[in-house]
Amino acid sequence: MIRILKYGEVPNSEIFARTEPTVNVADIVADILATVKRDGDKALLAFTEKFDKAKLDALQVTPEERAEALSEIEPKFLEVLRRAATNIRRFHERQVRNSFILNEENGVVVGQKIIPIDRAGLYVPGGTAAYPSTVLMDAIPAKIAGCREVVMVTPPQANGKVNPVILAAAEVAGVDRIFKVGGAQAIAALAYGTESIPRVDKIVGPGNAFVAEAKKQVFGRVSIDMIAGPSEILVVADSTADPAFVAADLLSQAEHDKLASAVLITDSEALAMAVNTELEKQIPLLPRAEIARTSIDNNGKIIVVDDLKTAIDVANELAPEHLELAVDNPFDYLDGVRHAGSVFMGKYCPEALGDYLAGPNHTLPTSGTARFSNPLSVDDFIKKTQYTYYTKEAFGRVAEDLAYFAGKEGLDAHARSATIRLEKN
- Catalytic residues, by residue number, are 321-322
In three-state secondary structure terms, 381 is helix
Nearest one of 305, 212, 201 to 257, comparing CA atoms? 212
- Say what the alpha-carbon torsion angle 178, 180, 181, 187 is, to the nearest 10 degrees: 0
CA atoms of 141 and 121, how far apart (whole Å): 12
Nearest to 361 by CA among 206, 168, 254: 206
- The phi, psi pair for 170, rounded to 5°, reads -65, -40
| Whole-angstrom distance, CA of residue 306 vs CA of residue 315 | 14
Give 234's strand partners.
263, 323
* Strand bridging mode 119-123 / 202-204: parallel
If residue 80 lies in a helix (H) or strand (E), which one and from where to where?
Answer: helix 75-93
Q: Which residue in 60, 83, 62, 59 sits closest to 169, CA to CA?
A: 83
Burial call 220-259: b when 16+ CB within 10 Å, e when fewer:
eebbbbbebbbbbbbbbbbeebbbebbbebbbbbbbbbbb
Distance CA 180, CA 359 (A): 28
Residue 399's nearest CA partner among 378, 424, 379, 375 is: 424
Question: Element (H or E) spanning 266, and its range?
Answer: strand 261-266
